[in-house]
């Protein structure tokens, strides 16, 4: 079984500051993928960044980077230079390697990020 | 290109009724998944369909069923609605076809179901 833990229910950050959203995971799979999604109040889940279990370098996508520490089973999202539009729910999710075509994502409970002007 | 589209956007039903939710994947995507997101929680996996075949099922009762059509669109059906079925139902699509774990799922805006 896979499990994602997000221990920060809510965070408040000043605009233009960097913010780190925590995510730890548990799995017995050797191959897996870790994803971060952003969910604005509209409800849509917006894909932000991906990290594979065998990737040696941390993933980066624009202002988003993923701090991947495999031994500690953590995959924290770092947002640099936060903007007001970053205010949303953020979900960490995992996709396991238990067979072809498995697209089941296991999500954490999310972190509500609020950017303060 | 159009993203994943879901209909309706909002729905109010009474306990015991039946509901059908619809999803059209991104053009060229052959895999569709359904998720239930109860208020304050992360989405929970319900079903995945690929080429009209069920590829995965989450821990949901038999009241929940789904199907995929030849054009890859999908329907989620829920029978005998309970108050606890009130949630945001999200549909996601992906190209599939490769044993790859780095393909993100592309989600629609969801259908918000309220059961009274």
Q: Which residues of B touch A45 (CB under 8 A)?
A: 43, 90, 92, 105, 107
B105 contact partners, CB below 8 Å, separation of at least 6:
A45, A47, A103, A105, B33, B92, B93, B94
Residue B108 has pLDDT above 60, yes or no: yes
Write the residue in B41, B50, B109 that is nearest to A42 by C-beta.
Answer: B109
The CA distance from A23 to A36, in Å, is 9
**pLDDT for the residue numbered B1:** 63
Indicate the burial class of A37 (C-beta count within 10 angstroms; 0-12, 13-18, 19 or more): buried
What mean pLDDT is predicted for residues A79-108?
Answer: 87
Q: Which residues of A touch B44 (CB under 8 A)?
A: 107
pLDDT digits (tens, 9 = 90+) for B69-81: 999 999 999 999 9
pLDDT digits (tens, 9 = 90+) for B23-40: 999 998 989 999 999 998
């Amino acid at each position: 079984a896979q499990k994602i833990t997000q221990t920060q229910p809510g965070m408040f950050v000043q605009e233009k500051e960097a913010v780190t959203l925590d995510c730890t995971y548990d799995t017995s799979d050797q191959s897996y993928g870790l994803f971060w999604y952003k969910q604005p109040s509209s409800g849509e889940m917006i894909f932000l960044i991906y990290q594979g279990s065998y990737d040696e370098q941390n993933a980066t996508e624009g202002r988003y980077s993923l701090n991947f520490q495999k031994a500690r089973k953590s995959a924290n999202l770092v947002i640099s230079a936060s903007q007001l539009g970053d205010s949303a729910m953020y979900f960490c999710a995992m996709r396991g390697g238990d067979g072809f075509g498995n697209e089941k994502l296991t999500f954490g409970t999310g972190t509500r990020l609020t950017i303060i002007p | 290109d159009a993203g994943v589209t879901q209909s309706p956007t909002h729905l109010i039903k009474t306990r015991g009724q039946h509901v059908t939710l619809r999803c059209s994947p991104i053009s060229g995507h052959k895999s569709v998944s359904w998720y239930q997101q109860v208020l304050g929680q992360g989405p929970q996996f319900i079903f995945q369909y690929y080429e009209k075949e069920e590829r995965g099922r989450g821990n949901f009762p038999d009241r929940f069923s789904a199907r995929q059509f030849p054009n890859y669109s999908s329907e989620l059906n829920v029978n005998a609605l309970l108050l606890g079925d009130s949630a945001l139902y999200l549909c996601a699509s992906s190209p599939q076809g490769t044993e790859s774990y780095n393909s993100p799922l592309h989600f629609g805006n969801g259908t918000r179901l309220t059961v009274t």
